[in-house]
Amino acid sequence: MLRDGFQMEPDFIPTDTKVSLANRLSEAGISKIEVSSFTSPKAIPTLADADTVFERIRRYPGVTYTALVPNLRGCERALACRVDELNVVVSVSETHNLANLRMRPEESLEQIALISKRAADNAAVNVSVSTAFGCPFEGRITRDQVFSVIDQLAAFGIELVTVCDTTGVANPAQVYDLFDAASRRWPEMSFTAHFHNTRGMGLANVIAALDTGIRYFDGSLGGLGGCPYAPGASGNVCTEDLVHMLQMMGYDTGVDLDLLLGIAHDLPAIVGHDVPGQVMKAGTSDRTYPKPAGL
């Protein structure tokens, strides 16, 4: 959110609304916001205003403002907008990479090397490794396949890697195994976990990743999102549900949950439909109600 949440919406979200949401998320204490995507407007028309949104948002101290860039051309646009961090994607699955980026994984890796070199001294580069737990077209993805990609990223000097369960097929045992091994193999890397909640295992997978020491997680306000090239995939783990769970467990997230829930409550009116988030509907787990009459 904002990019991952809005890219699947059928109707264009007004630019003013996107700018307001980015500012409100910053005020709530979200430490990293993926504001938009510098892809072709023909490919993702709902994010055609990326340049304007970045020009107009307020930059809050301590907040990293990121954007998805698919190639070197997108990188140049993002750098012109003073983006703090570039998010570049490569799929472990060749079929998914061809569908999503019109390139083979090795071609995407070549683009990542060029982007990393071009962005040096101007912006950080994070690489999202998609279909790391399974592919809707190729099926099972092995840990060795994922590590082969990360090995190449390490050779480019990439230090920020997001490991993505693109279609929500991961289970906690699989998540623990991959992140535990990856953290040991590349202790110099900073890993982020990215889970879609397609099969209701998103928060359980967060717990599994937490147990390996992972402390950075992607989320989407209201649980919006999906992937146009991942049939049946729902949105990312819901940001406010994730923050609520972590805070109830005693973690200091740095996020003002009340402010975040206020933003989430406005989301259905913005997108014109219900959203999957649970805490905004049920209230926090420490909420109490007046006693029934007569008790």
pLDDT of residue 58: 97
Angle between helices 239-248 and 257-271 (to 10 degrees): 160
What is the radius of gyration, based on Cα positions, of the chain? Answer: 19
Q: 75, 81, 164, 227: which one is catalytic?
A: 227
CA atoms within 13 Å, Cβ hemisphere of 36: 32
Task: Check the CA dihedral 12-19-206-180 and report its sign.
Answer: positive
> How many Cβ atoms from other residues are within 10 Å of residue 17's Cβ?
16
Question: What pLDDT does residue 140 have?
Answer: 93
- Over the stretch 101-127, which tens digit does the pLDDT of each residue have? 899 999 999 999 999 999 999 999 999
pLDDT for res 226: 75
Fill in the amino acid letter for 170. A
Distances (CA, A) of 44 to 11, 38, 70, 199, 290: 11, 9, 12, 26, 47
Cβ(171)–Cβ(134) below 8 Å: no
3 state SS of 139: strand
If you classify domain 3-282 with CATH, what class do you get? Answer: alpha beta
Q: How far is the CA of 131 from the CAs of 32, 47, 77, 116, 199, in angstroms? A: 22, 23, 27, 22, 15
Torsion of CA 279, 282, 287, 288, to 10 degrees: 180
Distance CA 89, CA 132 (A): 12
The tokens describing 270, both together, are 């913005």
What value, to the nearest 5°, has the Cα angle with vertex 48 and ends 43 and 54?
135
CA distance 256 to 35: 19
What is the rounded CA–CA span in Å between residue 227 and residue 5? 10
Residue 264, φ and ψ in degrees, nearest 5:
-60, -35
**Average pLDDT score over the chain:** 94
227 is catalytic: yes
Q: Residue 229: its pLDDT value, please?
A: 63
pTM, to two decimals? 0.94
Model confidence pLDDT, tens digit, residues 59-101? 999 999 999 999 999 999 999 999 999 999 999 999 999 998 8
Tokens coding 123: 């912006």
Pair 147, 183: CB distance under 8 Å: no
CB 276 within 8 A of CB 223: yes
